[in-house]
Amino acid sequence: MGKSARAENARLAALRAEQARQERRSKLMIAGGVVAVIVLIIVALVIAAMQGGKDSDGKSGTALDQATFSKLTTVPAATFDKVGVGTASNLPKTIDAPAITKDGKPRVVYVGAEYCPFCADQRWPVVVALSRFGTWNNLNATYSAPAPETNPDTPTVSFHGATFTSQYLSFTGYETATNKKSNGQFTKLDTIEGDDLTLFQKYNSQPYVTSAGAIPWLNFGGTSLVAGASYANDAIAGKTHAEIAAALADPTTPTSKAIVGSANVFTAQICKLTDQKPAEVCTSSGVTAAAAAIK
């Protein structure tokens, strides 16, 4: 083989070796890039899971202590009469709709959520009003969602798991979500189904309410409803459950004027459904004053 041929072969061998090295470097760079992308994706997913999956620090519910429960459910008749309508606002609205009943008794249906501060406000007068017609069991003390939600940690009770018995009416309370978040959403609780879902969807939209889907939503026997709270939150802001319940008996406190006044309004609506029974409740001066205010 001549010198020129050997030189050419050596050149070609060197070229092929360099091409092979470049190919190996390219493959390593591609593989490294793929690994880096995968690592970044995994890191992002882990961070998102840690941030979104962690529950918020909403306060957990506890059984309502007996002293608070007693004061909440046995407001003196004289207090109801002295408060009258009090500072209640956003009064129930009469609607043209079929009556709703269960076991031959008119129904009161409540829809809210434990995170909702306005629901937290509204449950107090619902409990006070219905206590004049029957008996509550298993009411838990809880709070609305923490900051940055509006009116954070508003003390209240929950209707989830609670029961109400009465010879005059039936009550159904839905708490559709808790006050704790998971994956950025408040966790689900009670599910509205069947006729109640149809009722809620139809009569929680315009023209029956100003803002469709608003909670709290309270329906009295199918013939009247109120969406939103019935008094301003400052009546109970900064107070404990025990302090709120204790303030109810004194008709001069802002708490009593708001909650007992709203309860008189709710009582007047219920009395329309029960044929004004029990008479000692429905003919009381506080209830008749509330009835006159919502006509």
- Tens-place pLDDT, residues 127-149: 999 999 999 999 999 999 999 99
- What pLDDT shows up at residue 49? 44
CA of residue 283 relative to chain centroid, distance: 34
pLDDT tens figures, 68-87: 999 999 999 999 999 999 99
Please give the residue that has the higher pLDDT: either 107 or 42.
107
Q: Domain-by-domain residue ranges, the chain?
A: 1-54, 62-293
Residue type, 133: F
pTM over 0.85: no
The rounded mean pLDDT for the chain is 88
For residue 36, what pLDDT band results from cuts at 50, 70 and 90? Answer: low
pLDDT at 21 over 80: no
CA dihedral 182, 183, 189, 193 (to 10 degrees): 180
- What pLDDT shows up at residue 191? 98
**Mean pLDDT calculated for residue range 248-262:** 98
**Mean pLDDT calculated for residue range 253-266:** 98
pLDDT tens figures, 151-168: 999 999 999 999 999 999
pLDDT at 67 over 50: yes
E runs forming strands in the chain: 62-63, 93-94, 101-102, 105-112, 134-137, 140-143, 155-158, 163-166, 170-175, 177-182, 185-188, 217-220, 224-227
- What pLDDT shows up at residue 27? 55
- What pLDDT shows up at residue 46? 40
φ/ψ (deg, to 5) at 50: -70, -35
